[in-house]
Amino acid sequence: MRHSLIFTLAGLLILSACNQKDEVNINLKYDDNLSLEYHEVIDAYSQLADYYPEASLVEMGKTDIGKPLHLFMISGDRDFNPESIRKKGKCIILINNGIHPGEPEGIDASIEFSWNLLRNKDNLKEYLDKVVIAIIPVYNIGGALDRSKYYRTNQNGPVYKGRRRNARNLDLNRDFAKQETKNARSFVNIFLHLNPDVFLDTHTTNGSDHQYTLTLIATLYSKLDTAMGKFLKEKMLPDLYDRMEENSDYGMIPYVQMSNYFGDIKDGIMAYNDDPFYSTGYTALFNCYSFMTETLVYKYFPDRVRSVMDFLTQLTAFTYDNCSVIRQLKDEADRKVRDRETYHLDWEIDMSYSEKLLFKGYEYARPEPTEDRRTRGYYDHDRPWTDTISYYTKYDPVLTVTKPWAYIIPQAWSDVVEKLCHNGVKAFRLEEDTELEVETYYIDKTEPSGRANQGHHVNQNIKVRLEKQTIPYYKGDFLIITNQHANRYIVEMLEPHAPNSYFAWNFFDPVLESHDFYSIWGFESHLMELLHEDEGLRTEVEKRKSEDESFANDPMAQLRFIYERAPMYEIEKYNRLYPVARLIREPRNLEREEYHDLVTP
């Protein structure tokens, strides 16, 4: 009996030992100037998710190359449900990596940061009491799989770098407004699922050289809800810069965009206007504190990785220390946006306002040209300088609209409605044919960009005219009521003169083509009859001919003149008419039903 008990206990111990998971063994290579390959990245996160119950790795949709987009989450109490997380008062940070795989430091930094959190290195695990971390390991998978030592040849490591563009040759950091890629649509699945409080996208930049390894783009404080913007400007940004100065070997400086393109850093730098086609511009539309790290290409890759790790740590620490305020301000902004009346759609830098910024740079040397070779300027590392420069951070709105009660979109443009619904917009459909008095835009002027951008010749310099008129609508046409969490996205996309609207991205270009028009042959045969029947028109034509010799000698001009004053000119009301109308107030007895077909991607 005693021997039997011993054997039983020994068997249980052996079984227990067999069930123990292997230790995590992640071989990061950035100290050797190498970034992990895509399969190594997913394997690293899989190991973490398998070993630590506080970690989870799931697939969240497809990408253009057919590979799934992954989401890795770290939650201290093992709760990975965003709705439940928010009810507990916790904050969610979403980190996106590898949108440009030639800029991979965020990919490697996020793995080590996650590992440090989970194994409680330097007591980092305490942050998980209030903060949940969510990471997209690699966003542009197609670009990450295409590696070469010749991509971004001016960049100081790693040896092998990914391709900037994705499988459709699109720059994914220009696709967040229009969302023509599977990557972007899968990102929206993740973003709406999490509804994060803070968002970070990791990048590398070139351009001017200076003493800093890490620079930061923050979404414009003037674009956020007033209270959120005030907190970002007066508390969050100063604190993040101070934390990086005190707790990192690399420090941090705002992204260097010179105030004078052909000037010098000493002339000042200005904040970056992150339009909604960028990741940070898009996420900020949903009341999210949004940032983009831009490490400097001239700095050695291991240092770039470590600087991003430091920022991930400080961003998490700040969010932990200020979680209740961040949540409160975001929740208030989410409520207010449903009732907000005016929206700013375009911005311009205010060069009359600047702040003082301590900057550490290098003198720019301009050698004298010689006859036998071309010379170029360079930043002289033997001549560092430290000085206070101007930092221009204030942007003023130059295009403002008042939202309507609702937008009406004819069902012929259901592809646009599908895009809206994919972004969390609630749509309704008219239940019967009806006529409605609406505000309609006419596109008086637009110029296609001379150079293709993302496969589009974007409409720019758009001039519109707003008119009230009664338009017939039909059962099944779409109604987008502007009382939603996604109001900013709705207005930015549907106001045609907004710089990043669906119209700007060419989704409504057919309306710029001619409609019905008069035939010169058929119309000319009725000229004498029209003039004979309408004495006022006849008198007007003769008066114009007597006053304008060129008009008197131009039969085509006379035909157009008569056509514009004849009853058949009514058909021209559809010429260059933007099809999305504005319904200013809710009509009585408007029958509608909620639209569900496209709400869930």
Please name each of the domains of the chain with its CATH number: 59-338 (3.40.630.10), 355-396 (no CATH), 399-514+575-595 (no CATH), 520-573 (no CATH)
Q: Which two tokens stand for residue 50?
A: 């398998």
pLDDT at 562 (0 to 100)? 80
Give the residue with greater pLDDT, 348 vs 521: 348
Identify the pLDDT of residue 561: 84
Residue 236 CA to residue 381 CA, distance in Å, equals 32
Question: What are the E-state strand segments in 143-259?
Answer: 147-148, 161-162, 198-205, 214-218, 253-254
Per-residue pLDDT averaged across 172-179, rounded? 96
E-strand ranges in 431-504 read: 434-448, 459-473, 478-481
- In one letter, which amino acid is 18? C
Q: Please, are residues 292 and 274 in contact by the beta-carbon 8 Å criterion?
A: yes
Quick: pLDDT tens for 63-97: 999 999 999 999 999 999 999 999 999 999 999 99
For residue 586, pLDDT beyond 80: yes
* Percent of the chain scoring above 70 in pLDDT: 91
User: Tokens 């959120």, residue?
Assistant: 228
Distance, CA of 75 to chain centre: 26
In whole angstroms, what is the distance from residue 178 CA to residue 508 CA? 12
Average pLDDT over residues 551-555: 90
pTM assigned to the model: 0.90
The mean per-residue pLDDT over the stretch 536-563 comes to 88
pLDDT of residue 6: 40
For the cut 60, the answer to whether the pLDDT of residue 308 exceeds it is: yes
Predicted local distance difference test score (pLDDT) of residue 3 = 46
First to last CA, the chain: 63
Give residue-wise pLDDT tens across range 117-141: 999 999 999 999 999 999 999 999 9
C-alpha span between 82 and 42 (Å, rounded): 23
Arithmetic mean of pLDDT, 239-263: 92
Nearest of 60, 316, 350 to residue 197 by alpha carbon: 316
Q: Which two tokens stand for residue 401?
A: 């609209």
Length of the chain: 601
The answer to whether the beta carbons of residues 307 and 296 sit under 8 Å apart is: no
What digits encode the pLDDT tens for the residues 217-238? Answer: 999 999 999 999 999 999 999 9
Give the model's confidence band at 599: pLDDT under 50 very low, under 70 low, under 90 confident, else very high: very low
> What pLDDT digit, counting tens, does each position of 444-481 carry?
999 999 999 999 999 999 999 999 999 999 999 999 99
Q: What are phi and psi of 144, to 5 degrees?
A: -70, -30
d(C-alpha 302, C-alpha 500), whole Å: 37
Per residue in 392-439, pLDDT tens? 999 999 999 999 999 999 999 999 999 999 999 999 999 999 999 999
Q: At what angle do helices 301-321 and 105-118 cross, to 10 degrees?
A: 50
Instruction: Write down the mean pLDDT value for the chain.
Output: 91
